[in-house]
């Protein structure tokens, strides 16, 4: 039985459970031999004595173990220990494509094609090794934090011989090919069909065929025409539409004959999206859509019933966690056709309302509509939802005070200095907007400020690098404030503008704001607002904008509820290079979180100390990250059972300290080696489980 903290294969330390499936559990573990984190899929105890389940589990491991590719979740090791069957695989920190689509509603054409290419390359590697996946779907495609796409879960994969293979097992019914739905043959072109359905879902946010039962959906795959993705998203290019159609032909002979052909067309669609270059195989009688025979209908029902029975008996709830576990297997998703009709009607009504509002707004702007009340009052006004703010009086304030107060109202400021003997230096003389006037948030207020009787002339700081401008201004006695903006005409790191402008006079020691170019906007990426978002939503936003998710930490926050981002390492709106990693911290709520730790502590492993022997007296100490000692004991018997709650740190260390004694010995040549003792200390990092 698997327990947290135990070692498997003398090298894998079980850290936590991260997923569960019908016949297996997935754990996060640390490989002490190679010092890396891995995922370990373990056959559930109740199935380990069943020869059929063990055989199926081994088949899955063997199918995946022979594949090493950047777009496949790689398998590192396979083993069996004391009746525990397991295999070790790469851990992917990220989200499934299914969740990614749900977060974004649908993907852009460019992003969908990019993901499809990476998935295709992974499938091609499997096909080149004579492995057919047979369950391609968004739930089995992972997107890592770095934006890498990986195919996972070869649970029903089969080794393909020179001929096609036959099996009564089909993949998820929403993505299954017609030949799989019939319970007949399936080959590499079945994976191509499923990939086509997945591409359709990426582009439109929905699957092409749905129904109330698995049988109903399977029948649609066999005899209903494939809808065009352009029916739902008209801006999809014709080449992409044709790629989907060719992937999802009813007859395998009319589809792409290899994944390599599909990859070529996908790449071509990125370069020439509006060209109709996809070559469709001419239909013939054998390839045409045909009605299902009674015999085929019985076979479909048997396959679907067997599938449903297996799901029910095994309570299949497959889910990969955000750290790379299994995603929920949804053959009959929560779909209600009546609800879809209602949603469609509501969407149409909403579109009509929005259209009416737009017409009224445009008409008002052009003076076409003159709406009057019953009393003959002036034209009614359509007010924007944005609330205006009232300008405050700033005359006589210190310029820094005035700027702070205006910024708190959501207004921006610019400063213009003039020599003036009536106002002290750095005092506001006037503002471009009078007190009491209502203005929009973001309005720029120009403050005219006294430079005193003898102001200092502001030198020119534009057209030079930031370093040169800063040096010039500081030598003249000014403080430099830097802001950034993209520019297609001003080179990166050169100054676009300055405030106050050159030639004007300002008090010595006052601030001059310079705007520094970050280069053309398309060469930089604006950092999105991640605050208040959940981690998986943040990952989706960063991948979409071309950035990466950096380290993810935790901290207490009174401002953001638990589970939401309360810190990001780059400010919102700043410009960074593509691929920049943005670190975030997740709120643990207003009060400190507590953790627990229970399990069995094993003694030093062979990887940690090859010289350690069972029976050696060892001083075992557990200390949390904040310095709290949980355990301080000496024992010669392992494992040591522990159970702690209310821990205030997320991590800690186990320290083993012991003395190795060697006896005197005489060599073959009569040389005597004296005995002695060696002090040994081994440290092992542990992670605690968050409570409640």
Of 14, 36, 35, the closest CA to residue 26 belongs to: 14
Question: In sequence order, what are the residues at sequence separation of 6 or more whose Cβ sits closer than 8 angstroms to the Cβ of residue 74?
Answer: 64, 67, 68, 89, 90
Interatomic CA distance for residues 606 and 584, integer angstroms? 37
561, two tokens = 């509820």
Interatomic CA distance for residues 204 and 230, integer angstroms? 8
Interatomic CA distance for residues 328 and 21, integer angstroms? 8
Q: Would you call 187 a catalytic residue per the annotation?
A: no
Interatomic CA distance for residues 5 and 385, integer angstroms? 56
Q: State the burial class of residue 612 (Cβ atoms within 10 Å of its Cβ: 0-12, 13-18, 19+).
A: middle
Instruction: Give the residue carrying structure tokens 């295709």.
Output: 120
Of 520, 487, 486, 485, the closest CA to residue 499 belongs to: 485
Q: State the burial class of residue 365 (Cβ atoms within 10 Å of its Cβ: 0-12, 13-18, 19+).
A: exposed
Interatomic CA distance for residues 161 and 130, integer angstroms? 7
- Please provide residue 611's backbone torsions phi and psi, each rounded to the nearest 5 degrees: -90, -10
Choose, from 135, 187, 191, 322, the residue flagged as catalytic: 135
Interatomic CA distance for residues 190 and 175, integer angstroms? 10
Q: Which long-range contacts (CB under 8 A, 24 or more apart) does 634-640 make?
A: 638/601, 638/602, 638/603, 638/614, 639/5, 639/6, 639/600, 639/601, 639/602, 639/603, 640/600, 640/601
Q: Are 502 and 455 in contact (CB under 8 A)?
A: no
Interatomic CA distance for residues 277 and 270, integer angstroms? 12
**Catalytic center residues:** 135
């Amino acid at each position: 039985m698997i327990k947290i903290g135990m070692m498997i294969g003398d090298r894998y330390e079980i850290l936590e459970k991260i997923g569960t499936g019908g016949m297996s559990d997935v754990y996060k573990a640390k490989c002490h031999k190679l010092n890396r984190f891995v995922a370990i899929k373990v056959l559930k105890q109740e199935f380990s004595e069943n020869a059929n389940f063990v055989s199926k589990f081994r088949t899955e491991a063997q199918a995946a173990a022979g594949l090493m590719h950047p777009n496949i979740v790689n398998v590192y090791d396979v083993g069996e220990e004391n009746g525990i069957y397991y295999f070790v695989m790469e851990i992917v920190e990220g989200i499934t494509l299914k969740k990614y689509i749900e977060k974004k509603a649908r993907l852009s054409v460019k992003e969908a094609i990019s993901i499809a290419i990476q998935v295709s390359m992974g499938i091609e590697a499997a096909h080149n090794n004579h492995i057919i996946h047979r369950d391609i779907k968004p739930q089995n495609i992972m997107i890592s934090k770095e934006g890498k796409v990986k195919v996972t879960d070869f649970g029903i994969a089969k080794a393909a011989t020179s001929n096609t293979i036959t099996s009564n097992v089909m993949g998820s019914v929403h993505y299954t090919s017609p030949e799989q739905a019939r319970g007949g043959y399936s080959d590499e072109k079945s994976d191509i069909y499923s990939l086509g359905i997945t591409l359709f879902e990426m582009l439109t946010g929905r699957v092409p065929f749905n129904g109330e039962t698995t049988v109903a959906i399977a029948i649609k795959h066999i005899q209903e025409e494939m809808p065009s993705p352009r029916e739902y998203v008209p801006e999809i290019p014709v080449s992409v539409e044709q790629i989907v159609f060719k992937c999802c032909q009813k007859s395998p002979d009319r589809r792409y004959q290899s994944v390599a052909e599909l990859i070529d067309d996908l790449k071509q669609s990125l370069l020439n999206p509006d060209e109709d270059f996809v070559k469709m195989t001419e239909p013939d009688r054998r390839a045409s859509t045909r009605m299902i025979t009674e015999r085929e209908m019985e076979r479909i029902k048997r396959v679907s019933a067997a599938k449903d029975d297996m799901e029910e008996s095994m309570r299949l709830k497959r889910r990969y966690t955000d750290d790379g576990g299994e995603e929920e297997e949804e053959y009959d998703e929560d779909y209600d056709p009546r609800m879809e009709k209602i949603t469609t009607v509501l969407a149409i009504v909403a579109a009509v309302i929005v259209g009416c509002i737009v017409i009224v707004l445009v008409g008002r702007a052009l003076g076409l509509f003159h709406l009057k009340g019953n009393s003959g009052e002036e034209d009614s006004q359509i007010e924007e939802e944005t609330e205006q703010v009232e300008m405050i009086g700033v005359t006589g304030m210190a310029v820094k005070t005035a700027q702070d107060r205006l910024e708190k109202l959501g207004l921006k400021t610019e400063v213009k200095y003039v020599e003036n003997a009536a106002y002290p230096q750095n005092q506001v003389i006037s503002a471009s907007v009078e007190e009491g006037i209502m203005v929009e948030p973001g309005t720029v207020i120009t403050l005219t400020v006294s430079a005193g009787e003898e102001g200092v002339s502001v030198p020119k700081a534009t057209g030079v690098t930031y370093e040169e401008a800063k040096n010039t201004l500081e030598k003249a006695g000014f403080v430099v404030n830097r802001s950034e903006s993209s520019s297609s005409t001003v080179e990166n790191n050169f100054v676009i503008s300055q405030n106050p402008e050159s030639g004007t006079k300002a008090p010595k020691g006052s601030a001059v704001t310079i705007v520094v170019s970050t280069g053309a906007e398309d060469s930089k990426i604006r950092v999105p607002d991640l605050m208040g978002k959940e981690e998986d939503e943040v990952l989706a936003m960063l991948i979409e904008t071309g950035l990466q998710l950096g380290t993810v930490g935790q901290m207490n926050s009174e401002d953001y509820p638990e589970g939401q981002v309360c810190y990001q390492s780059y400010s919102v709106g700043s410009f960074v290079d593509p691929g920049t990693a943005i670190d975030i911290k997740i709120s643990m709520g207003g009060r400190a979180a507590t953790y627990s730790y229970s399990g069995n502590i094993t003694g030093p492993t062979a990887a940690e100390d090859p010289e350690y022997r069972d029976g050696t007296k060892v001083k075992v100490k557990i200390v949390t990250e904040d310095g709290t000692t949980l355990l301080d004991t000496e024992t010669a018997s392992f494992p040591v059972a522990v159970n702690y709650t209310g821990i205030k740190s997320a991590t800690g260390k186990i320290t083993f300290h012991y003395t190795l004694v060697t006896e005197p010995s005489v060599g073959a040549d009569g040389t005597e080696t004296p005995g002695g003792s060696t002090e040994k200390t081994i440290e092992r990092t542990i992670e605690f489980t968050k409570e409640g």
